[in-house]
Amino acid sequence: MARKPENPIFLERERYRMRRLMDAARLAPVLAAFLFLLPLMWSASEAVKTASVLVYLFAAWGLLTAVTAFLSRKLHKIPRDKWQERP
């Protein structure tokens, strides 16, 4: 099957961005798990205060929420039938 002629630069670029966006969405939970497990490293060291851990966790949580909101809004704009695993 011959490929259909298309506007290559624009479309390819668009699709490339779309795929990287999906990659980011896949990696977001890894980042979240990393940030949430990080405080475990501190417990070995000298007396860490509950208050500072709390501030850190809520800050990380808020940041992750913002990042996810950004990614989701972008992904939301992609037509649903293009929400595929493979090209």
Partner 1 sequence: MGMLNVLVTVSLAYVTFLFMVAFFADRAAARGRSKWLQSPLIYTLSLSIYCTAWTFYGAVGYAARSGVEFLTIYLGPSIVMIGWWLILRKLVRIGRSQRVTSIADLISSRFGKSNSLAVVVTVIAVVGTTPYIALQLQSVTLALDAFAGEEVTPSVGPSATALWLAVGLALFTVLFGTRNLDANERHDGVVMAIAVEAVVKLVALVAVGLFVIWGIGGGIGPTMERISQSEIARWDVSAGRWMGLMFLSSAALLTLPRMFQVMVVENEDERHLATASWAFPAYLLLMSLFVVPIAVLGLEYMPDGANPDLFVLTLPLAEGRNTLAMLSFLGGFSSATSMVIVAAIALSTMVSNHIVMPIWLSTQGSTAMVAGDVRHVVLLSRRLSIMGVLTLGYLYHHTTGGGEALASIGLISFAGVAQTLPALLGGIFWRGATRVGALMGMVVGFVLWAYTLFMPSFGPEVFMSETFLREGPFGWGWLRPEALFGIASSDPVVHSVVWSMSLNTFTFFIFSLISFPTPLERLQGAQFVNVFDHSARPGSWSRGLAEAEDLLVMAQRILGPSEAQSLFRSEAVSQGITGYLPETTPEFLQRLEREMAGSVGAATAHAMVGQILGRASVTVEDLMAVADETAQIMEYSNQLEAKSAELTRTARQLRAANEKLTQMSVQKDAFLSQISHELRTPMTSIRAFSEILRDGGLDDAALAKYAGIIHDEAIRLTRLLDDLLDLSVLENGQVSLNERVGKIGDVLNQAVAAAGIENSRLRVVRSKVREDLMIYTDLDRLSQVFINLISNALKYCDAARPRLEVSIRDLGDTLAIDFIDNGSGIPMASQDVIFEKFSRVGSDQAAGGAGLGLAICREIMHRLGGTVSYLPGQGGGAFRVILPVTVVRSGR
4: contact with partner 1 by CB under 8 A: no
53 burial level (CB within 10 Å; 0-12, 13-18, 19+): middle
User: Nearest-CA neighbor of 41 among 55, 53, 31?
Assistant: 53
Question: Is there a contact between 35 and 53 (Cβ–Cβ < 8 Å)?
Answer: no
Q: Nearer to partner 1 by C-beta: 9 or 47?
A: 47
Q: Nearer to partner 1 by C-beta: 9 or 30?
A: 30
User: Nearest-CA neighbor of 26 among 58, 54, 87, 68?
Assistant: 68
Between residue 17 and residue 46, which ones bind partner 1 under the rule CB under 8 A?
Answer: 22, 25-26, 28-30, 32-33, 36-37, 39-40, 42-43
Q: List interacting residues with partner 1 (CB under 8 A).
A: 1, 22, 25-26, 28-30, 32-33, 36-37, 39-40, 42-43, 47-54, 57-58, 61-62, 64-66, 68-69, 72-73, 75-76, 80, 83-86
